[in-house]
Homo-oligomer: A and B are copies of this chain.
Amino acid sequence: MSSESTDTAHEDAPSQEIVDQILERSAWARAAAPELARAGRDRKDATLGAMADAVRAASVSVLEANREDMVRGDEAGTSGALLDRLRLDEDRLEALALALESLAGLPDPVGSVVRGGDLPNGIHMTQVRVPLGVVGAVYEARPNVTVDIAGIALKSGNAVILRGGSAAERTNTVLIQVLREAVRGQGFDPNLIQGIDDLGRPGVAALMATRGSVDVLVPRGGRELIQRVVREARVPVIETGEGNVHLYLDATAPVEMAVDVAVNAKTHRTSVCNAAETLLIHEDAAEAGREVLRALLRAGVLLHLDAGARALLPPEHDRGPDPRDPVDATEEDWGREYLDLEMAVRTVSSIDEAMEHIRRWSTGHTEAIVTNDLGSADRFVTEVDAAAVIVNASTRFTDGGQLGLGAEVGISTQRMHARGPMGLDELTTTKWVLRGTGQVRR
C-alpha cells in the first residue's frame, strides 16, 4: 500500500486514460444533476429515507468489506487512531442511517428566496437558491464521510464525486454501490453518486486539475491533504478545517468561567479543528491563569509555557519525572495545531498584545476571549479576524450542529463563498429570476 503522504507530484501525475475517466464520470454526474436539481423536497426526502434503509439492509456486506480494509490496514502498520476512524460497526452504521433520516427533516435549501420584490417598473424579481451542480469531496480513511456527504449533496440537489482514500477503498466501494442502488430505486440516475477510489491518487490529481469536472471541491481531512488541494487545484475549492485556535483570558476573566471554558476548549475533544491550541493570559489575570493551568495539568495536558506562565505555577509543577510536566514554549509552539492533549501558553500585558499574537498566528478559524469587561469583549469581536469569534464560551461551539445548521459539510477557513460552519445553504448558489410583462429599458 502506498503511503498517503510521501508520494511526489510526479507519482501522482495522471495518465490521459485517468483524465478521460474523470471527464467521463463528471459528465455523467453533470447529466444526472438537472433532474435532482428540479426535484421537490418530498422526493428528495423519500430518497434519503431509502438510502438510510439501504445502509441498514446492507450492514453485513458493508461490515465485511470494512473488516477487509481493517485487516489490510493492520498489515500495513496503520496507526491505531487511523484504524479507529476507518472502523465501522453496527452502532456506527445505525448512526449513519439516522443522520440520513435527520437530513430529511431539514428544510430544503433549493428554491428558498434570498431576496425579492417588485421593481419600480413592475418586474417581479427573486433571487433563489439553486444547487451548485457537481460537488467533489476528497477525504481520508473515514467511510462515514461517504454516507454523510452523499446525503448532504442529495438534499442540496447536487451530484457528488467521492474520493475516500485507499485505506477505506473496499468499504467505500460497497457503500457507494448501496447508495447508488437506493437512488436508482427512487427513479433518479445513480450517477448522482460516484466514487473514484479505483483511480487512486492520480484520479485525485486529475479531478483537481480538470476545470469543469466539478463545480466545487471540498477537502476534508488533515492539514497536509487540505494544503495540497488548495495548492494544486485548478477547480474552485472550499478550504476547510485548519484551526490554530486561541483562547485569551482578559484581565477581568472570572476565575471559574476561565477554568470551565479553557478545560472544555482544550480537552472536550482534542483531535478536532475547534479545540483550543494556545492560551493567552493577561498578566493581571494571574489568579484565573494559575487556576486554569492547574486544571489543565490535572486533565493531563502537556503545557508549553513562556516565562510569565511558568511563574504562575508553584515550583512543585516545575520538575519531576512525569512526562506531562510543563516544558518551555518555543516560537514554533505558537504555530502548532497539536490536535492532542497539549497546549501553548503565553502571558501578555494587554489585549492589544493578545490580538497582535492572534493576528500573527491565527488560521482564521475560531478565536475566543473570556472577560468581564464589555469594552474588551467588543474590541475582540470587532478587531479579531476569524470565521468565528467567541466571548465567554467554549471554542467547541464553532460547529454546524451546535449553531443549528443541521448538517455540516465542513468548516470553511476561507473568506470567499462560505466562512465558518457550512450547512446545506453553502452547497448552493443563486439564480436571479425576473418575471415581467414585456418591460424594456429606456
Q: Does A325 lie at the interface of the complex (its beta carbon under 8 Å from any beta carbon of B)?
A: no
Q: Which A residues, 377 to 402, have Cβ-Cβ distances below 8 Å to chain B?
A: 377, 381-383, 385-394, 396-398, 402
For residue A38, give the distance in angstroms from its CB to the closest CB of chain B: 6
Q: Which residues of B contact A215 (CB under 8 A)?
A: 415-416
Q: Does A430 lie at the interface of the complex (its beta carbon under 8 Å from any beta carbon of B)?
A: yes
Q: Does A34 lie at the interface of the complex (its beta carbon under 8 Å from any beta carbon of B)?
A: yes
For residue A229, give the distance in angstroms from its CB to the closest CB of chain B: 14
- With the chains together, A381 CA to B111 CA distance in Å? 11
Tell whether, in the assembled complex, residue B429 and residue A416 are in contact, meaning their CB atoms are under 8 Å apart: yes
Tell whether, in the assembled complex, residue A430 and residue B419 are in contact, meaning their CB atoms are under 8 Å apart: yes
Q: Which residues of B contact A76 (CB under 8 A)?
A: none
Q: Does A2 lie at the interface of the complex (its beta carbon under 8 Å from any beta carbon of B)?
A: no
Q: Does A260 lie at the interface of the complex (its beta carbon under 8 Å from any beta carbon of B)?
A: yes
Chain A 399-426, CB-CB to B under 8 Å as 1, else 0, gives 0001110000000001111011100000
Q: Which residues of B contact A98 (CB under 8 A)?
A: none
Q: Does A431 lie at the interface of the complex (its beta carbon under 8 Å from any beta carbon of B)?
A: yes
Tell whether, in the assembled complex, residue A398 and residue B432 are in contact, meaning their CB atoms are under 8 Å apart: yes
Residue of chain B at shortest CB distance from A127 = B420
Task: Report which of B236, B391, B439 forms a contact with A434, defined as CB distance below 8 A.
Answer: B391
Residue of chain B at shortest CB distance from A125 = B403
Q: Does A81 lie at the interface of the complex (its beta carbon under 8 Å from any beta carbon of B)?
A: no
Copies of this chain present: 2
Tell whether, in the assembled complex, residue A381 and residue B416 are in contact, meaning their CB atoms are under 8 Å apart: no
Residue of chain B at shortest CB distance from A38 = B382
Q: Does A185 lie at the interface of the complex (its beta carbon under 8 Å from any beta carbon of B)?
A: no
Q: Does A264 lie at the interface of the complex (its beta carbon under 8 Å from any beta carbon of B)?
A: yes
Task: Report which of B216, B254, B257, B437 forms a contact with A416, defined as CB distance below 8 A.
Answer: B216
Q: Does A440 lie at the interface of the complex (its beta carbon under 8 Å from any beta carbon of B)?
A: yes
Q: Which residues of B contact A433 (CB under 8 A)?
A: 381, 388-391
- With the chains together, A18 CA to B433 CA distance in Å? 44
For residue A124, give the distance in angstroms from its CB to the closest CB of chain B: 9
For residue A289, give the distance in angstroms from its CB to the closest CB of chain B: 17
Tell whether, in the assembled complex, residue A421 and residue B415 are in contact, meaning their CB atoms are under 8 Å apart: no
Tell whether, in the assembled complex, residue B432 and residue A387 are in contact, meaning their CB atoms are under 8 Å apart: yes
For residue A261, give the distance in angstroms from its CB to the closest CB of chain B: 6
Tell whether, in the assembled complex, residue A441 and residue B403 are in contact, meaning their CB atoms are under 8 Å apart: no
- With the chains together, A438 CA to B438 CA distance in Å? 58
Tell whether, in the assembled complex, residue B261 and residue A440 are in contact, meaning their CB atoms are under 8 Å apart: yes
Task: Report which of B265, B394, B397, B438 forms a contact with A392, defined as CB distance below 8 A.
Answer: B438
Please judge, given known A-B contacts A236-B416, A383-B34, whether A432 and B441 are in contact too, CB under 8 Å.
no
Chain A 120-134, CB-CB to B under 8 Å as 1, else 0, gives 000101010010110
Tell whether, in the assembled complex, residue B388 and residue A431 are in contact, meaning their CB atoms are under 8 Å apart: yes
- With the chains together, A310 CA to B261 CA distance in Å? 76
Task: Report which of B260, B391, B414, B432 forms a contact with A389, defined as CB distance below 8 A.
Answer: B432
- With the chains together, A436 CA to B397 CA distance in Å? 10
10 closest A-B pairs by beta carbon, nearest first, are: A393-B436, A264-B440, A257-B438, A388-B432, A417-B417, A415-B429, A393-B439, A396-B441, A394-B440, A390-B434
* Residues of A that sit less than 8 Å from B by CB: 34, 38, 119, 123, 125, 127, 130, 132-133, 215-216, 236, 254, 256-257, 260-261, 263-265, 268, 377, 381-383, 385-394, 396-398, 402-404, 414-417, 419-421, 429-441
**Can you list 29 A-B pairs with a CB-CB distance of less than 8 A?**
A34-B385, A38-B382, A119-B404, A123-B393, A123-B397, A125-B403, A130-B385, A132-B416, A215-B415, A215-B416, A257-B437, A260-B440, A377-B435, A385-B431, A388-B431, A389-B432, A389-B433, A390-B433, A390-B435, A391-B435, A393-B440, A394-B440, A396-B441, A397-B434, A397-B441, A402-B441, A415-B429, A419-B431, A419-B432
